[in-house]
Structure 1
């Protein structure tokens, strides 16, 4: 493929991915007044702190595994090696997610007290972490579709997921009036079904093989990026934690929005 054709192909896939992402943002913007009415300020504060907990777990797992998968996939022209890279990375991600999330599930009441100031909201943490497990373990399976440059297929799946997720949110939050609990149930159902589909698609193509050598190389590649991820986490979440601690959940969402405007 010539450089011009490569640029055109890259632009085409970026445009397709970007269009699907923009549509999702637009739908979220339109639905914002409805969600605000049903979740109220405290509900948004709870969701914000849940996001902080999930961001911390993501930091501990590492963002660089998907990038490492891409690197080692293209490093070899051997199709067997490539399939082994994809499968090993998917399995590695699964084990890392389980290792990081198990203590949070076991000590959900303590985590809830740290996040919300209330230990009786531990069930919020459990639901959020279960959805997180499903979502994170699907990342490399989803990345395999990106590697295959099947932008139309992935965008179609994203649009179907958008409609399904929106329907779940409307049902649980608006119709059943379940508030934050409804948001978490919708997120869990959406994440589990999406993860099952992505794993079925990817593992059917590459098989289920684990290579310890590849796993070590992936970890070695991604670990040096950790300090940068720590800085990103602190920058994005420190003010949220401070606001929750000193001003409460009900004011968190408004002050967080104000501070974001100042930046």
Structure 2
């Protein structure tokens, strides 16, 4: 028992290091891209990446969760191998179909998505990267299932490092264009595939087992709507924004989103630990009181973090790039959305305790539809701010729905009104900070926004509320 707990702890630390390391490398690459590319050029690579993420979703199609279930459901090594080979076959067949479609309609896709038919060749490079990455992802997944944790972490971090190094080398010494970034990725994933050649030869064998594929897809297909909804919420904004405005605005928005995702460096560790932690408290006395403290505490820390982002962003962008400087004003609100994407997991303990996870699919399905509608309505009038507003409102709707459904299943003694008041006050403070920065007023006025937020926190008396609940429970 102790050995298993020790391995769990060690593996968790390694995966946390991997998660933070890869995100940090990806973030470091953003200023490099901003140095060599104009906003419109970055807009192209951003849209291409979002399009590729949709293709990745289609290729995986929920088979990751299905494989996790069936791989551990059987003790037969040969059957495990058959499941892996069947998933590999399924994914590579989808890659092949996508490649054919892009080869036949590359010009059309380039004009539709990138607004330039002459960029069709970028899709060819991207599909090559995607095909190799598909193989890498599945091999690393199986190695993770077999507890080769160190190898998974090393290969994952190595892949990101190689992409960063080769992309920079091509940009700096070959040509400062989008092509260099994609060729850097292609060379990097090819090297990683070669390093994984031994397990690759084991799993790459074509295996079209109808029964196994039927089992896998029966498990995987119900998970697809939720994944699709997440993709729509995260990515639809950029495509609609470019369609209504220009690639320049798309590049500015894409850079702001990347900076906003930096908050995940702080939340990813908690996110990985939260599910087992919360589940371990399911049947313990006074757990609801502890969850109440965590709800309030995490929300307060997140709100303060969002204000800090709003305060420092102009200086960060001024140091990095004048071409992308206008992106700073959107980062704090987008960081708030990124925080909400993390916070919904915290406030949904009741849903996971009772296995009613379909509620999350409903919530984000509704949010995806609202997001598209609001983007279409807002962007023609407010450009990037319209997209940011649509993104925020859709997440607020989803998280509100999830909170009330979770509370019905497992009541946590918190005030929704108080949490809403606290979060909205932080948003109001952020908007005030951005107004001060944009209007040319003295930056000393930002202190008033901070003071106002602190006053709201003191008036809400979260500390008193928690102490009262604690004493009542005891």
Tell me which of the two structures has the higher relative contact order, counting C-alpha pairs closer than 8 angstroms and 6 or more residues apart: 1
Q: Is the 8 A contact 2:32 2:168 kept in 1?
A: no
Provide the secondary structure at the position in 2 that maps to 1:107: helix
Q: Deviations over 1:96-137 (max 9, x none)?
A: 221233212321110011111111110111111221121123
Q: Deviations over 1:147-173 (max 9, x none)?
A: 111111222223333332222112111
**Corresponding position of 1:201:** 198
**Corresponding position of 2:71:** 73
Q: Is the 8 A contact 2:42 2:251 kept in 1?
A: yes
- Rounded Cα–Cα distance in structure 1 between residues aligned with 2:45 and 2:204: 37
**Corresponding position of 1:149:** 147
Q: CA RMSD in A?
A: 2.1
In the TM superposition, structure 1's runs of 4+ consecutive aligned residues that sit over 6 Å from their partners are none
- Rounded Cα–Cα distance in structure 1 between residues aligned with 2:82 and 2:112: 41
**Corresponding position of 2:100:** 102
Q: Is the 8 A contact 2:43 2:249 kept in 1?
A: yes
Instruction: Write the mapping of 1:158-173 to structure 2, written as runs, cut at 5 A.
Output: 158-173=156-171
- Rounded Cα–Cα distance in structure 1 between residues aligned with 2:5 and 2:113: 46
* 1:178, distance to aligned residue in structure 2 (A): 3.1
Instruction: Write the mapping of 1:160-239 to structure 2, written as runs, cut at 5 A.
Output: 160-198=158-196, 200-205=197-202, 208=205, 210=207, 211-239=209-237
Larger gyration radius, structure 1 or structure 2: 2
Instruction: Write the mapping of 1:24-173 to structure 2, written as runs, cut at 5 A.
Output: 24-173=22-171
**Corresponding position of 1:260:** 334
TM-score, scaled relative to structure 1: 0.89
**CA pair 150-121 structure 1, distance change in 2 beyond 3 A:** same
Q: Is the 8 A contact 1:165 1:187 kept in 2?
A: yes
**CA pair 196-102 structure 1, distance change in 2 beyond 3 A:** farther
- Rounded Cα–Cα distance in structure 1 between residues aligned with 2:158 and 2:54: 29
Q: Is the 8 A contact 2:26 2:160 kept in 1?
A: no
Unaligned runs of 5+ in 1: none
Q: Is the 8 A contact 2:167 2:184 kept in 1?
A: yes
* 1:7, distance to aligned residue in structure 2 (A): 3.8
- Rounded Cα–Cα distance in structure 2 between residues aligned with 1:237 and 1:171: 29
User: Aligned pair count?
Assistant: 260
- Rounded Cα–Cα distance in structure 2 between residues aligned with 1:28 and 1:218: 32
- Rounded Cα–Cα distance in structure 1 between residues aligned with 2:103 and 2:190: 17
- Rounded Cα–Cα distance in structure 2 between residues aligned with 1:31 and 1:53: 20
